[in-house]
A = this chain, B = another copy of it.
Amino acid sequence: MRQGDRLSTTTPVYAPAAAEDLLLGAQLLRRAFLETPVLSADRDKVVVPADSPEPPVLLIHRGVAYQSTALPDGRRTIVDILLPGDIVGVDHAVLRRSHHEIVAANTLGYRLLPPDKLRQLLRDPRIALRAMALASEVSRRTSRHLTVVTRFDARGRLAAMILGLYDRLRRQDLISRPTFNLPLTQEQIADHLGITMVHVSRTLRRIREERMVVIDRQVVVILDIAALRHAAAGLSADEQAAPGKAAITRPEPLIAELS
């Protein structure tokens, strides 16, 4: 199963009539990225500042980043978490300024495409379709997160977050077992879920005691994925990514590198 299959069969969310073009568009866009060098950023480094003019599009190659917006009172919201393979900011093709800042959560490898280059690529309708699909995916993720944050308590939010990350990592073939690396501090998790750091800590303890998930030192181990899905119940369960109940053996995590 290579890149192509993934798009058309494993995630059948796209219109059949557009599938072929989308596939080609994805390849073309990827090719354009591959002509750019892999850049690197350390933890907490701001890769794309907020309000930066002519913001680039980026492809996460390795590591984790997040998009955030700051409020004048010093608080912030982490709007989205970015994983290897994610393409962020396709809308930068049309925007004068970026809305969010993009920050490396750990050591990050990424590629940049300047916006005029992207605009040029978008002249190809297949790439344009692909860009729409990428934008749509982000938008779907955001609105899902919105639902989580408005309707779930801290436990449900945590469950939904972990499950969401797990499913995304699975879909990208970056992990095969229910355990992975999550390079976020509890404060960052708090800023993502709209609760306080203190409450994140307490809630983590709770779900650990429930033998649902163990999160220790940025390593996530899902113990009972059924319970996890139950706790995050009601979310469009995508497609059930894992067929059977996950019985973990040894925690041997870490997010793999993107090909």
Contacts and interface: CB of A to CB of B under 8 A. Distances in A.
Given A15-B119, A122-B129, A122-B132, 4 more contacts: A17-B116, A91-B135, A91-B136, A128-B131
A102 to B, nearest CB: 13
21 contacts: A13-B97, A14-B94, A15-B119, A18-B119, A69-B147, A69-B236, A71-B234, A77-B146, A77-B147, A77-B150, A91-B133, A93-B129, A94-B132, A131-B132, A132-B132, A132-B135, A135-B135, A135-B136, A139-B139, A149-B194, A150-B193
| A54, A77, A125, A150 — most chain B CB neighbours (10 Å) | A150
A240 to B, nearest CB: 15
Nearest to A13: B96
Interface in A224-238: 233-234, 236
A133 to B, nearest CB: 4
Nearest to A77: B147
Interface string A108-130: 00000001100100110100110
Given A79-B143, A99-B140, A125-B128, A119 B150 contact: no
A34 interface: no
Nearest to A139: B139
Contacts of A139: 91, 135, 138-139, 142
Contacts of A61: none
Interface in A4-42: 12-18, 22
